[in-house]
Amino acid sequence: MKALVLIDIQNDFMPGGALAVPNGDEIIPIVNQLQEKFELVIATQDWHPASHASFAVNHFGKEVYETIHLEGITQILWPVHCVQNTVGAAFHPDLNTERIEVIFRKGTTPEIDSYSGFYDNAHLKSTGLAGYLKEKKVTELYFCGLAAEFCVLFSAKDAIAEGFECFYIEDVTRALDAEAFENAKQEITKLGGKVVTSSTI
Ligand code: VGL
Ligand code: ZN
């Protein structure tokens, strides 16, 4: 059984959003078409409280994109984004949400950040996503969404570690940084995942 995972297709990651991924909106028509090919579609949503530790404004004297140590790991400080119940945290209005069976929200704990849909960045807490998918007898996971080198990459890596066959759909994601995108694809391949294009699905 295969499932399509829509990672963080939210307004704040779109052009004009608080943490805009260049051309992020280009993926939406392809995501909508792809959903028809899957029996199970699930989504993640970055869903932060305003007090979240990943926001630069919550650290006195720190600027956006500086790093700090959080829970023993390096944390990039982001602009305020995807605050719970704001328009920025909502799915893009053109995304077809009718077939999304369940939404896993992440980044809700103020002091820990979660790029992956499975675990927070320090692997302290599970979201329950792996258990949900295993109960549904899912073995193959196809990833699309934003951003390619953060939430899509981290979700794909955790999926591989959880024993799922992982497909990273390279034309249905966009990156903040082109070089990081190339590194992300190499990392997925090295770990045993597959980098594919939507036309082969
Ligand atoms: C993301 C940075 C911070 C993402 C979320 O969805 O890739 N990136 N929060
Ligand atoms: Zn975030």
pLDDT for the residue 55: 98
Res. 109 pLDDT band, cuts 50 70 90: very high
Closest Cα to atom 9, ligand 1: which residue? 115
Q: What is the mean pLDDT of the chain?
A: 97
What are the DSSP calls for 137-201, one per residue?
T--EEEEEES-IIIIIHHHHHHHHHTT-EEEEEEEEE--SSHHHHHHHHHHHHHTT-EEE-GGG-
User: Does ligand 1 have an atom closer than 6 angstroms to the CB of 46?
Assistant: yes
User: Does ligand 1 have an atom closer than 6 angstroms to the CB of 78?
Assistant: yes
Largest CA distance in the chain: 49
Q: How far is the CA of 140 from the centre of ligand 1 (A)?
A: 23
Q: How far is the CA of 173 from the centre of ligand 2 (A)?
A: 16
Q: What is the pLDDT of residues 157-166, one digit of tens each?
A: 999 999 999 9
Rounded average pLDDT over 23-42: 98
Query: What's the rounded Cα separation, in Å, for the pair 81 and 56?
Result: 11
Rounded average pLDDT over 50-75: 95
Rounded average pLDDT over 31-43: 98
- Percent of the chain at pLDDT > 70 equals 100
Pocket of ligand 1, candidates 146, 150, 177: which has the most ligand atoms within 8 Å of its Cβ, to mutate? 150
**Entry pTM:** 0.98
Res. 71 pLDDT band, cuts 50 70 90: confident
Ligand nearest, relative to CA of residue 81: 2
Atom index in ligand 1 nearest the CA of residue 78 equals: 3
Q: pLDDT at residue 63 above 90?
A: yes
8 in active site: yes
Q: Which of 25, 106, 158, 166 is catalytic?
A: 106
Domain ranges (residues) in the chain:
2-49+80-200
Q: Is the ipTM of this complex over 0.95?
A: yes
Q: pLDDT at residue 186 above 90?
A: yes
User: Does ligand 1 have an atom closer than 6 angstroms to the CB of 83?
Assistant: no
For the chain, first and last CA: distance in Å? 14
Q: How far is the CA of 27 from the centre of ligand 2 (A)?
A: 19
Q: How far is the CA of 200 from the centre of ligand 2 (A)?
A: 31
Res. 47 pLDDT band, cuts 50 70 90: very high
106 in active site: yes
Rounded average pLDDT over 35-43: 98
Q: How far is the CA of 51 from the centre of ligand 1 (A)?
A: 16
Domain 2-49+80-200 belongs to what architecture?
A: 3-Layer(aba) Sandwich (3.40)
Q: Which of 82, 144, 151, 166 is catalytic?
A: 151
Q: What is the pLDDT of residues 115-152, one digit of tens each?
A: 999 999 999 999 999 999 999 999 999 999 999 999 99
